[in-house]
Amino acid sequence: MNSPKKTSQSKRGNTLILKFALGVTLPLLLCLLWTIDFSNLQSFSEYLGASSIQGNTTEARVAKILGKVPLIDGHNDLAYFIRWAHSNRVNLENFTRPFEEGTLGGEVDIYRLRQGRSGGAFWSAFSDCPTEALATTEAAIDVIHRIHARYADTFERPNNSSDALNIFQSGRFISPLAVEGLHLIGDSYTKLRSYHSSGVRLMTLTHNCHNSYADSAQVQLPDGTLGPSQPHWRGVSEAGRGIVREINRLGIIVDLSHTSADTMRAVLGGGNRDDHASEHWEGSLSPPVFSHSNAFGLCPHPRNIPDDVLHLLKKRDGVAMITFSPDFVSCEWPTGHPIEGKLPQRVDANLTIPQVVRHMRYIGDMIGYDHVGIGSDFDGVPFVLEGLEDVSKYPSLIAEMLRQGISDEVAKKIVGGNLLRVWKKTDEVAAQMQAEGVMPAEDSLPRLDDPWK
């Protein structure tokens, strides 16, 4: 135990030491603070918290998301724009300079892709139904190849999903090709395999016409406008089942955008409308995607995905990639119910970024966010949405996703993680089929007359 006298002396000593320390250090601290320039800060507290606030801004979160996972757009129509605006002539300065500098017109060029932190896209080769379909499709593939060759340090075509990640990590754009509609294969397995050899890794089963394999959602009317289709195959034809199997064997992603609801259900294992139990077809062996479609529950357009189909999509582990195409973002029936032979009317007042995100949330809340992606349809839309004018605006979309409560981790899945999962599974199904000895499907051609007779 300490004596009272010794304790009192100790306290007085500690007090003297504290006064001396304050007398020396306080003036030094004031001098140090005097040297700090606070002229550009709103408050001293802002200065103290600047580093932590900066890392939590929406902009910083978006940058981190797009730096970790490639944003892969499921559908980009640059090749169609080049044919329309430049007649496929991409070596002239009136194309190359604006393509490099961000002034090309349309919605896509190198500069704006960089500004938008794009990770890549499925570059679509497309031709209207059915005139000169093969020639124009091959020309579209050729123009994409020539752009990739000229800008080899910017674009690279992957063979598979593993290549895609390596390309992203190298700083180049992931650049597989897509073909939009089986009317573009000329009823030929040979042409399908040729497209695969050319870098096609996604095949849309129909466009705005029925074909030999499947029914489309809408068709061109005699006056040149589009209207809802009437069933032809009531889903997928026998030939269609064979072509889907070959698409699976090749390792091409099956795309159900533009198909009728019956076709969607059949390919997702739900059966054709008139199937008997003994005729039931299991559908695609690999997970299908919708490369550029929205939720029918928010916009009742036949190009969008009905709720029951969304549940089938979940069972098959597929992805619905939300599009910015105005007619599919916001629409309604003025009378409150469908009108036979007509399409719903677009609601221009609701063509906004928040409405695009509502489609994501509608699908994500219904079947899970593992089944949501992005498929803009840039350079293929009649006009663009305010705030989503071109590929430089991808970050604005991600920011709105975060504002509506989608987490950073879920956003990573939506921008590219989910599509990469489907792509990987597609590769695995193809490898398994080939390992099991599934042979390439063969065309049945008429025999030639004996040339030596």
Express each pLDDT in 281-340 by its tens digit.
Answer: 999 999 999 999 999 999 999 999 999 999 999 999 999 999 999 999 999 999 889 999
Residue, of 360 and 38, whose pLDDT is higher:
360
Give the gyration radius of the chain's Cα atoms.
Answer: 29
Distances (CA, A) of 109 to 70, 101, 103, 147, 423: 17, 8, 8, 11, 25
Identify the pLDDT of residue 280.
83
212 DSSP 8-state letter = S
Confidence band, pLDDT 50/70/90 cuts, at residue 453: low
> Phi and psi for 99 in degrees, rounded to 5?
-65, -35
**pTM for this structure?**
0.87
Residue, of 29 and 109, whose pLDDT is higher:
109
Identify the pLDDT of residue 29.
40
Nearest to 238 by CA among 191, 279, 273, 195: 279
In one-letter notation, the amino acid at residue 433 is M
Identify the pLDDT of residue 20.
40
* Percent of the chain's residues with pLDDT above 70: 85
Homologous superfamily of the 72-436 domain (CATH): Metal-dependent hydrolases (3.20.20.140)
Confidence band, pLDDT 50/70/90 cuts, at residue 271: confident
Asked if the model's pLDDT at residue 423 lies above 90, the reply is: yes
- What is the tens place of the pLDDT at every residue in 71-128? 999 999 999 999 999 999 999 999 999 999 999 999 999 999 999 999 999 999 999 8
Confidence band, pLDDT 50/70/90 cuts, at residue 21: very low
Identify the pLDDT of residue 450.
67
**Quick one: tokens of 342?**
């007509």
Specify the range with the lowest mean pLDDT, choosing from 41-45, 158-162, 168-172, 189-193: 41-45
Distance CA 250, CA 391 (A): 30
Residue, of 280 and 273, whose pLDDT is higher:
280
Asked if the model's pLDDT at residue 263 lies above 60, the reply is: yes
**Quick one: tokens of 159?**
């063979």
Identify the pLDDT of residue 273.
67
Residue, of 140 and 30, whose pLDDT is higher:
140
3-state helix, strand, coil in the chain (%, to 5): 45, 15, 40
Positions marked catalytic: 75, 77, 180, 207, 258, 292, 377
First to last CA, the chain: 127
Identify the pLDDT of residue 445.
74
